[in-house]
Structure 1
Amino acid sequence: MMQKKNRAFLKWAGGKYSLVEHINARLPQANKLIEPFVGAGSVFLNTSFKRYLLNDINPDLINLYNLLKAQPDAVIHDTQRFFTPEYNREAMYYDLREEFNQTSDPYYRAILFVYLNRHGYNGLCRYSLGGRFNVPFGRYKKPYFPAEEMIVFAEKAQRATFTCLPFEKVFSRARKGNVIYCDPPYAPISKTAAFTSYAAHSFGIDAQTRLARLAVRTSAKRHIPVLISNHDIPVIRELYQGADFTNLSVKRSISQKGATRKPVPEVLAYFAPRTSPVKPDLSVIAGNK
């Protein structure tokens, strides 16, 4: 286990910082960790695999990670300029949010993405159906600039490849000897709790079902272990039949009233690679697959 826990440099709904010990305990040894839903990267930052394939459907996030990996000093220096009282004003925030929505310059978008993440309400990442970032101003006294966390991320990113693909394509890149950890947008506890507009794509029950089937197939037929986290609710238990479950209780705000914030039951579902001998596929051996 790593001695010091590393925090992600972005604020992130559903971030896994508080659960990395539990996740680490369930991840088997492997030469590469693949994360189809990397988010802010807490699992990546607190594991010690030789290589990583880190994916997210949000192109702004992956663009930022690639630029931070390639030119950390410049990105950190240029982002820090936006963390002064002058920029922590409502009118300025909305001006910069509009600039972010108007520009297609990857470097400027990356810098503004960090600014909006730290100055926006609750560190949310939300887009309209038209793809416009629409999180309101956060009203923080002095937003924290995560220079140290960005340096740690950039150093570790040298071991990682970042992609922006649908999760199915990421699964297809996995090979024997790898392990896959999935932290998808969670199935809603209630109909009103659905929060799926994170990257202008929803992740409904169809997507949850496709992911579960892919996990079963990948572990059983391709002998690649898959670990998935999600809410511990009946529909998820049903979808993940046959997995080995670890129950977790997570303190997370699902209510705006602080007094009614209760621990939310979550589950880690581990799909072990099938170890029973499999008959060789003679067509593959003959080279006519």
Structure 2
Amino acid sequence: MNKTILKWAGSKARAMDTLKMHLPTGHRLVEPFAGSCAVMMNTDYEQYLIADVNPDLINMYQQIKNDCEFFMLIASGLFNASNNNEDTFRRHRFAFNKSKCIGDVYKAAIFLYLNRHCFNGLCRYNKSGGFNVPFGKYKAPYFPKAEILAFAEKAQRCTFICCSFEETLRMAMPGDVVYCDPPYLGNSKTEGFVSYHTAGFGYVDHEFLALALRNLSSKGYPVVVSNNHSDRVLALYTGFEIASFDVRRSVGASADSIKTAREVIASLPAVRDMCSPCNERYCGNCMHSAGAVVQ
């Protein structure tokens, strides 16, 4: 298992063994919800299209891809005892939130510092776009040198873009496999962690995502999506092949906070509007069932 650079709520690291059984083969993996890139780091597609609406996340990944050595030089200097206190953390967080240089290596380095020093590795923003997770009070935050080096090597096969899932899915090409790991949707309006970005991700967004994935499947793209096991998720993905499984999930800072949660993987194969036996488009005269699965 290749570990990720970031600590990340909802990371698929603990679910990779199960998830890989449901990811079909293909030339390129398209991921509209990058997160910690656990899926990218633990699969072996020839190419990757990795997207996220969070510009800080994509900036860090792009900086590591472009110049890993320089990024590590800047970032490693932040991981020392003098920077591991609440006052210094607040100063770095303030500078990070004031910075307007989206494509800046220094901001990317501070993003890693904040992730590794903040409470439980959360990535959360207020409505003004400010990173607002408090100091984590860890004795010696880990600098992920080996993980950065491994990521930099794999990143040469990746294209990183900062855009919405709708825009990303429109970039799908023949031979692609689409995998989505959106923020979790709970059984009520208050359940689920949706503040990874200023805009949030609500129920309507989940509805649009499910519709977009159905459309992609009908156009010949295999699609896979993860979420937590809830009545609303199961209703959204009616007609998908559903696999339910248990995964260990960290919900706090202590070892006691690691609990088992139920999750689902919903998938649809690539479907085309041509009848395989007839090699013709479906019509009223076709005796075969509509929706031929692409082999």
TM over 0.5: yes
Paired residue secondary structure (1:266): strand
Q: Could you tell me how far apart the structure 2 residues matched to 1:261 and 1:118 are?
A: 18
Aligned length: 276
* Equivalent residue letter for 1:79: A
- Which residue does 2:78 correspond to in 1? 82
Structure 1, gaps ≥5 residues long = 282-289
Paired residue secondary structure (1:269): strand
Higher strand share: 2
Matches within 5 A, 1:64-213: 64-105=60-101, 106-213=104-211
Measured after TM superposition, the shift of residue 191 of structure 1 is 4.4
Judging changes above 3 Å, is the alpha-carbon distance between structure 1 residues 190 and 70 closer, same or farther for their aligned structure 2 residues? same
Q: Could you tell me how far apart the structure 2 residues matched to 1:137 and 1:262 are?
A: 23
* Equivalent residue letter for 2:260: P
- Which residue does 1:19 correspond to in 2? 15
* Equivalent residue letter for 1:108: Y
Q: Is the 8 A contact 1:189 1:231 kept in 2?
A: no
2:6 is aligned with 1:10: yes
Q: Could you tell me how far apart the structure 2 residues matched to 1:259 and 1:103 are?
A: 37
Judging changes above 3 Å, is the alpha-carbon distance between structure 1 residues 73 and 256 closer, same or farther for their aligned structure 2 residues? closer
Paired residue secondary structure (2:74): helix
Amino-acid identity (%): 39
Aligned Cα root-mean-square deviation (Å):
1.8
Judging changes above 3 Å, is the alpha-carbon distance between structure 1 residues 133 and 245 closer, same or farther for their aligned structure 2 residues? same
Q: Is the 8 A contact 2:120 2:253 kept in 1?
A: no
Deviations 1:8-41 (A, max 9, x none): 1100000000111111111111000000001010
2:203 is aligned with 1:236: no
Which of 263, 267, 271 is matched with 1:270 structurally?
Answer: 267
Q: Could you tell me how far apart the structure 1 residues matched to 2:281 and 2:110 are?
A: 52
Measured after TM superposition, the shift of residue 192 of structure 1 is 3.9
Matches within 5 A, 1:29-68: 29-68=25-64
Deviates more, 1:209-218 or 1:261-270: 261-270
* Equivalent residue letter for 2:24: P
Q: Is the 8 A contact 2:117 2:135 kept in 1?
A: yes
Deviations 1:145-182 (A, max 9, x none): 00110010011000000011110111111012100000
Measured after TM superposition, the shift of residue 261 of structure 1 is 5.9
Which of 252, 259, 274 is matched with 2:249 structurally?
Answer: 252
- Which residue does 1:226 correspond to in 2? 223
* Equivalent residue letter for 1:136: P
Measured after TM superposition, the shift of residue 253 of structure 1 is 3.8
Q: Is the 8 A contact 1:193 1:254 kept in 2?
A: no
Measured after TM superposition, the shift of residue 260 of structure 1 is 7.8
Q: Could you tell me how far apart the structure 2 residues matched to 1:83 and 1:253 are?
A: 24
* Equivalent residue letter for 1:71: D
Deviations 1:198-242 (A, max 9, x none): 11111111000000011111001x110000001111111111111
Measured after TM superposition, the shift of residue 252 of structure 1 is 1.6
Q: Is the 8 A contact 1:57 1:164 kept in 2?
A: yes
Measured after TM superposition, the shift of residue 193 of structure 1 is 3.1
Judging changes above 3 Å, is the alpha-carbon distance between structure 1 residues 164 and 260 closer, same or farther for their aligned structure 2 residues? closer
- Which residue does 1:28 correspond to in 2? 24
Structure 2, gaps ≥5 residues long = 283-295
Q: Is the 8 A contact 1:12 1:124 kept in 2?
A: yes
Paired residue secondary structure (1:142): coil
Q: Could you tell me how far apart the structure 1 residues matched to 2:227 and 2:132 are?
A: 26
TM-score normalised to the size of structure 1? 0.91
Q: Could you tell me how far apart the structure 2 residues matched to 1:263 and 1:184 are?
A: 19
Q: Could you tell me how far apart the structure 2 residues matched to 1:191 and 1:184 are?
A: 16
Deviates more, 1:77-86 or 1:244-253: 244-253
Measured after TM superposition, the shift of residue 280 of structure 1 is 5.6
